[in-house]
Amino acid sequence: MDRIKPGRRAALALALIAGLASSLAVRTAARAQSSPASVSGHQAASCTALPKPPNTLLQLAECCAHDLKSNPSCRVHDHNGGYVIIKDNAPQKTNAYLIMPTTKVTGIEDHRVSSAPVVDFWHYGWSQSARFPGRQPADTALAINSINGRDQDQLHIHISCIRADVKHMLHSANVPSHPQKPAALQLPPHQNTYEVVKVTGLSGSLSPFLLIQANPAAKADMKDQSIAVVGSSKANEYFVLRTYHHGANPGHAEELLSQSCS
């Protein structure tokens, strides 16, 4: 759960947490057979999480990793990749999902983002986006917010659709492929400035985490960084965008997403 402004943050937090807490509390009945993707292979365990930030998402990730049937928000557990995919239950996010590690990783500022498996979460998240939300690559986007733009202390990358106006601006701009020479674009909805480059992959040395850390100023202040990845109209080509928390800019790249995919 991420925040934009204090008042709106509180409302959104209550909505998502209420949905998570309700579903976590009621799914206590054991199931005789687990999902093939679940690691337990036995009965679904009771899944109970604290109803308040900052650990709700961590506990949900642990529940989904234990058994996908333990909560209706669970979608995928990849044991080798060390992640789960869950449905974001905020009312206005009807086509929004999250990829999260199954162990404690606080956020973009955590040193684990530079190492496997978390360094490749952009690649894993993009692969899963073919199903969740299941749109064309050029309409798909992933985003992670700065420490200022979140309420949860568990790393989570949002998976949804890109705003149509942002998509148009990205495809109309002259965006370079050289990571040290990004284009600077002011993007809707709040005209915050983003540095943008094109890449041909999202894993290994091309992981957006590592691309952003190649900027010494960003690496020294990762907690304030915010990243988005948007699909291109060309196969295996992506826009990587960076902004950061400063002044009125909250470092909230999630703003670029249309999480109803409308």
CATH of the domain at 172: 3.30.428.30
Is 232 contained in some domain? yes
**Cβ atoms of residues 71 and 35 within 8 Å:** no
Q: If you average pLDDT over residues 23-37, what whole number do you get? A: 34
Helices 56-66, 6-26: inter-axial angle, 10-degree rounding:
30
pLDDT band for 17, please (50, 70, 90 cuts). very low
Residue with tokens 């009621």: 26
pLDDT at residue number 33: 31
- Give the rounded distance of the alpha carbon of 205 from its chain centre: 19
Residue 237 falls within a domain, yes or no?
A: yes
**Domain boundaries, position 148:** 6-258
Three-state DSSP class for residue 115: coil
pLDDT digits (tens, 9 = 90+) for 165-185: 999 999 999 999 988 899 999
Does 56 score more than 70 pLDDT?
yes
**Residue 146: what residue type?**
S
The number of domains in the chain is: 1
Residues in the chain: 262
Q: Is residue 65 part of a domain?
A: yes
pLDDT digits 0-9 by tens, 178-219: 888 999 999 999 999 999 999 999 999 999 999 999 999 999
Give the Cβ contact number of residue 189 at 10 Å. 10
**Three-state DSSP class for residue 223:** helix
Kindly give the pairing relationship between strand 140-144 and strand 157-162: antiparallel
Asked if residue 113 is part of any domain, the answer here is yes
Strand partners, 121: none
Question: Which two structure tokens, joined as six digits, stand for 253?
Answer: 């790249």
* pLDDT for 3: 56
Distance CA 47, CA 27 (A): 7
Asked whether residue 1 is domain-assigned, the answer is no
Q: Is residue 99 part of a domain?
A: yes
